[in-house]
Structure 1
């Protein structure tokens, strides 16, 4: 059996890594993909390892492995560090026949492993990307990020506030403008009146949370969300005089990158679920207080609907430009 080895931090794994791993797997009976990590890594190790497993789950020859880097010493010269690494790899993964890499240290590493070395795209001409570039400017290098990883970098924007302020319309319009996804207010799909029960509100909480998670996986850089669990809790307190504890847990599962608090300076439009037309200022202040209490940053969006749309586009464009440029 010809056993190969690819090592890396994969912080995060990108299309260049994937090309290297596929290249290596084609030349082996078994390929170990060893991910090293330290507790100080800027990208969560468990999440990185999950990405690798998910990407290669249908490749039986590829065997992801994880190892804590508690033996490297960056005070040493490269040759000595390489020898220490090779010794550790030999200890953990016996009988490595070939090392695949795109790095300068690959040859000396392979010699220490007593293995063959195969160099792949060292100049990064096939896939001009690095993990550092992805971490620094993920939107600029979006096309080099596998779909399993992209969700980590998606910016979630919550359109938030009381009834009849344009949240639903703006969420859908913004998604179309930016060629991405939006999450609707799931409650409107599940209930037909305000005569709700605790079971209804819990069902809404779970459904809203799950929909955000699902859409985050396929969003294109930005995800627009019409409402959140804070909103669900506000209406639960109003209609039921209680807030089920599970809503606290569900709220903690989703972190939004930006809240846009929609002002009430547009005309009230009634429908079969809206019933706060005479309490708009009171409800606006309630929504605002919930953000202030949590220490959540937000931007108030006021003006007519065209002005709101223009303001949101300007804000999102700024986010995209800043994230792209690092």
Structure 2
């Protein structure tokens, strides 16, 4: 939405929401990232105003794109259509004691508002009073000591995992670190994915290709009751479907996951399977490859082959392990190879995931206030 659009909404919304305390409320912030405190602030403004304009004003140096923040906020506040979000970059220095710097910031905010008059400024920050004064508006302070919602953007950036419950599902999905378990048939990938997710207190994404194999075999058996997995055939479209459905399931799970999401296979693994069945991997499947945070490769050595009726590659396990090693080596993603008995493998996987969380997210600092 443009600044002019924001301005034009004020009279229309005011007419449609009679009895509100203020005609037009303003909320300004970086929302880096949006968290529960921000949502409570916006909700407080929405409850008391006919229309609210939220100006999202980050600096370009920050790590989360402006448009993404706007998308997150619009999703979170879709139930209050009289709240509108306008994005604008504000790269001016931060100095609350310098009137000239205040002028620069307020010029950015006024441009974002498109000239619309502001009746109340809602803020949880100390600068809210001065911002309201400069807009000749009422200052409304909301939970300045963070007692109702004990969180801040600084705290979230320093430790997203520690403030996970204060983040909206869409924001959590962006922060999620994805851990992908891959390996040849019957090397314990599914067992590992489920066990690792349970140990980490998160969710895991099952392998769609296995589900598709079961459906294909069931269809064959409608006409040929004696059909086996060796009769199942594959084409290029099947592998494109596997990638599409696997990634869709992964994206859905990321919204309800903990800081780590465990995935049983991905597009790179699918490319290896496509190579196995069709002799090569298609450009479409390879182009779909994403960049997870970590790969866990389950070695075949020492793992008995469990023929569950959907497996046909006992003789290819060593070859596939070699292919996975080569495929993952060129991914640019850290790889931990899991060997030995299950408990040892699980301990190695948990340690690798804990190391991943310990590294943090490395978000760029916002522009900080000048110290007096």
Tell me, yes or no, whether TM beats 0.5: yes
Task: Note if contact 1:182-1:223 (Cα within 8 Å) is conserved in structure 2.
Answer: yes
Indicate the larger mover: 83-92 or 184-193.
83-92
Residue 126 (1) aligns with residue 164 (2): no
**Alpha-carbon distance, 1:48 to partner:** 1.0
Deviates more, 1:26-35 or 1:203-212: 203-212
Q: Does 1:270 align with 2:307?
A: yes
Q: Out of 235, 238, 242, which is 1:197 matched to?
A: 235
Residues in 1 aligned to 2:93 and 2:198: alpha-carbon distance in whole angstroms: 50
CA contact (8 A) 2:291 2:333 kept: no
- Structure 1 counterpart of 2:20: none
Per-residue deviation, residues 265-310 of structure 1 (Å, max 9, x unmatched)? 2222234343332333322111101111233321111111122122
- The answer for the alignment partner of 2:296 in structure 1 is 260
Instruction: Report the Cα offset of residue 74 of structure 1.
Output: 4.1
Matched, 1:282 2:327: no
User: Which contiguous aligned blocks of 4+ residues in structure 1 show a shift greater than 6 angstroms?
Assistant: none
For residues 113-170 of structure 1, give each alpha carbon's deviation from its aligned partner in whole angstroms, at most 9, with x where no partner exists. Answer: 1111111222222222111211110111112222221111212110112111100111
Once structures 1 and 2 are overlaid, which stretch shifts more, 191-200 or 146-155?
Answer: 191-200
* Superposition pairs of residues 1-326 of structure 1, within 5 angstroms: 1=14, 2-70=23-91, 72-74=92-94, 77-93=97-113, 94-191=116-213, 192=217, 193=229, 194-251=232-289, 254-265=290-301, 266-320=303-357, 323=360
Work out the number of aligned pairs and report it: 323
Unaligned runs of 5+ in 1: none
Q: Is the 8 A contact 1:82 1:105 kept in 2?
A: no
| 1:247 Cα deviation from its structure 2 partner | 0.9
Cα RMSD, aligned residues only: 2.2
1:77-122 residue CA offsets vs partner (Å, 9 max, x unmatched): 4433223322332343221111111122211111111111111222
Provide the TM-score with structure 1 as the length reference: 0.92
Deviates more, 1:33-42 or 1:159-168: 33-42
* Residue 105 to residue 79, structure 1, CA distance change in 2 (3 Å): farther
Q: Distance in 1 between matches of 2:96 and 2:27?
A: 23
Asked if structure 2 preserves the Cα contact closer than 8 Å seen for 1:184 and 1:225, the reply is: yes
TM-score by length of 2: 0.81
